[in-house]
A and B are shown apart, each in its own frame.
Chain A
Amino acid sequence: SQQGEEDPQALSIQEGENATMNCSYKTSINNLQWYRQNSGRGLVHLILIRSNEREKHSGRLRVTLDTSKKSSSLLITASRAADTASYFCGVGAQKLVFGQGTRLTINP
């Protein structure tokens, strides 16, 4: 399957530090999407990166994609308490496949 698998499963850092989460998948993809989910809420779309892109930025977010290693990373710089959430990568075209996510906790 194309399943996206995030690691680590949980990450706890101090406010102001950078947070890096990784996603691995199994088959070739056209694009990969990162989402954030706050506790008890829906998913918020963060970034879509296409297979012909290696890096993409959006504010404090930086996403990289290495298709040779079938992996992607999400970097959040200068983390804030409001970044506390679960982060998921989704792979696939219309049928997105998600892993179990990375639970990020930002400690004040």
Chain B
Amino acid sequence: NAGVMQNPRHLVRRRGQEARLRCSPMKGHSHVYWYRQLPEEGLKFMVYLQKENIIDESGMPKERFSAEFPKEGPSILRIQQVVRGDSAAYFCASSLIGDETQYFGPGTRLLVL
């Protein structure tokens, strides 16, 4: 049973470009969460999604950031017009319905030049 998969593992973008981060949850998991980790810090919650629904986006910056989890395919975290401050590791986690244990992927490390 494959774990949570994220790609790309590393992403380099220039300021003003778009970054698209993908997350495939564990098989059977219908809940997806995105977190951001700055160097030497803990993870900060961004958004919680179920299939085709955003449940809690209280941690998402108001501008430039969006997330989706379509009926088919991976969850996507999209960052438009990236700035240097967006450089961080972005982690996706997934869980089963009714299970509060979250299983994390390996992360995508975004570097904005």
Contacts and interface: CB of A to CB of B under 8 A. Distances in A.
Interface of A: 30-31, 33, 35, 41-45, 48, 88, 90, 92-101
A33 to B, nearest CB: 7
B48 interface: yes
Contact of A93 (B100, B103, B105): B100
Given A41-B106, A48-B101, A96-B93, 6 more contacts: A93-B100, A94-B31, A94-B48, A94-B55, A95-B45, A100-B40
Interface residues on B, range: 20 to 34
B33 A101 contact: no
Given A42-B91, A43-B91, A95 B102 contact: no
21 contacts: A30-B100, A33-B100, A33-B101, A35-B104, A41-B107, A42-B4, A42-B106, A42-B107, A45-B101, A94-B48, A94-B55, A94-B56, A94-B95, A95-B33, A95-B45, A95-B56, A96-B43, A96-B93, A97-B45, A98-B43, A101-B42
A45 B102 contact: yes
B48 A95 contact: yes
A91 B42 CA distance: 13
A101 to B, nearest CB: 6
A12 B84 CA distance: 33
B41 interface: yes
Interface in B12-29: none
Interface in B41-59: 41-45, 48, 55-56, 58-59
Contacts of A90: 102
